[in-house]
Amino acid sequence: MKKTSFVATVVIIGIIIIASIYGTYSLLSTSPSPSPTLTPSASPLSTNKPTSSPTSSTSSSNPAASSAVPTSNPTTSPTPVPTSVTVTDGAGNTMTIPLPVTKIAVLDGGIAEVLCAMGAQNLIVGRTDGCTLPPSILSVPSFGDNDYAPNVEGLLTLDPDVIFAGPMLPYNTAAYEQLKNANISIYIFSTTPYERQTPPEMTAEELRNAQTPIDYICGFMQNITSIVGHQAEVDEYVEWAQSYNTLVRERLATLTSDQRPKVLIEEHQAYQSIVSLRAYQAGGINIGENQTTYSAILSPEFVVEQNPSVIIHMISSTSHNVNDFIAARNEVLTRSAIQNVDAVKYDRVYVCDFSARSGIRCVVGYLYWATWLQPSLFSDINPAAVNQELNQQFFGTAIAGTFVYP
């Protein structure tokens, strides 16, 4: 009898152990696997949310839980779209322009090319005859010759949100006042920086940190994105242009004065010299750098005395016809007064269009000048290829025409 009771007891204990093991296994095998991350919808539903309020025991064991109020994910308020922008133009005029800008009239060729490179050509509803690049802009109706001689009546029919013009417009007082009286915002800007700067009057640090034409035009583009948008396109151009800006600066950084050739820079007419840092920043010394005015007429005797190794003659060719450049160069080469100047004797006379030294193409002109003044330092640079790189990257097409010669 005792033996039978003992066996029964052992069997009962075994059953209990097996049941416990099986229960544990069942519990483990039915535990939920980690849930995948879900993208919240507008009205999220949680299948694990308790269906009743926490009990008093839970509240007493966790006092903070009793005061916690479940909240939904915060809704981010959209950034308000600005209805206007206040800007200051290149002439120091401050204006408030209603947004969005949908219609632009542009009276300056350099500004027109900048706007098109930014991707804003679709906003341009009017131009002048001086706006010729890129070629696609020729499909936009023209209203006048240039920013000094615009067709005011025609421009007023467009009712533009803003007019971009060069510095010549204010000199036509009647046209300028008529446009302003029509309550049209007029943004004045010169794509060529006009400031008298001469290296002998500047410290080494000032020369090192001086703004180049590339810095100047990049700043203009960044400023007008608040008006016309296209920030991404401007950022792309700035990165591209500044890479060449840095390249030139670094290669010229250790040049001594003896390693810099003398250069005569002429504007428009014979011996008219400008006083700026452009020659210095391209690796040369401007023979007219000590003139007291920005643009001075030098005497042929002074040029002969200085004996420049390089002459750069600036012209404006709206057609970019090579014959314009050939004619300008031949005029320099045939001046009897400077036949013994090294630049003429050794055939280092170059012609450069203003549009290649300012505006969107300032990179191209900058590289041409560097290769002319320091050919050994820039033998690996092909400015013509850089010009076509610019055309393809920012206009999406090859653009024919001459910008420098030879």
CA-to-CA separations, 316 to 61, 108, 193, in angstroms, rounded:
86, 13, 16
> In this structure, what token pair is assigned to residue 169?
């417009």
320: nearest Cα among 371, 272, 254, 391: 391
393: nearest Cα among 233, 155, 223: 233
Nearby residues of 256 by Cβ (< 8 Å), 6 or more positions away? none
pLDDT in tens, the chain (406 residues): 444 444 344 434 444 443 443 443 333 343 333 333 333 333 333 333 333 333 333 333 443 433 444 555 666 777 788 899 999 999 999 999 999 999 999 999 999 999 999 999 999 999 999 999 999 999 999 999 999 999 999 999 999 999 999 999 999 999 999 999 999 999 999 998 877 888 889 999 999 999 999 999 999 999 999 999 999 999 999 999 999 999 999 999 999 999 999 999 998 889 999 889 999 999 999 999 999 888 899 999 999 999 999 999 999 998 999 999 999 999 999 999 999 999 999 999 999 999 999 999 999 999 999 999 999 999 999 999 999 999 999 999 999 999 999 9
Measure the CA–CA gap between 213 and 361, rounded to whole angstroms: 10
Q: Tell me the DSSP string of 323-344.
A: HHHHHHHHHHHT-GGGTTSHHH
DSSP 8-class letter at 127: B
The three-class DSSP label of residue 35 is: coil
Residue 360 has what pLDDT? 97
Q: What is the pTM of this model?
A: 0.79
Instruction: Give the residue carrying structure tokens 């092909």.
Output: 382
Give all domains of the chain, ordered by start, each with its CATH number.
84-190 (3.40.50.1980), 218-405 (3.40.50.1980)
Measure the CA–CA gap between 112 and 118, rounded to whole angstroms: 10
Measure the CA–CA gap between 68 and 60, rounded to whole angstroms: 13
Residue 73 has what pLDDT? 62
Name the phi and psi angles at 92, rounded to 5: 85, 10
Q: Helix 213-228 vs helix 362-373: angle between axes, to the nearest 10 degrees?
A: 180
Measure the CA–CA gap between 28 and 20, rounded to whole angstroms: 12
DSSP 8-class letter at 169: G
> How many CA within 13 A on the CB side of residue 56?
0
Q: Could you tell me where the beta strands, DSSP code E, fall in 195-261?
A: none
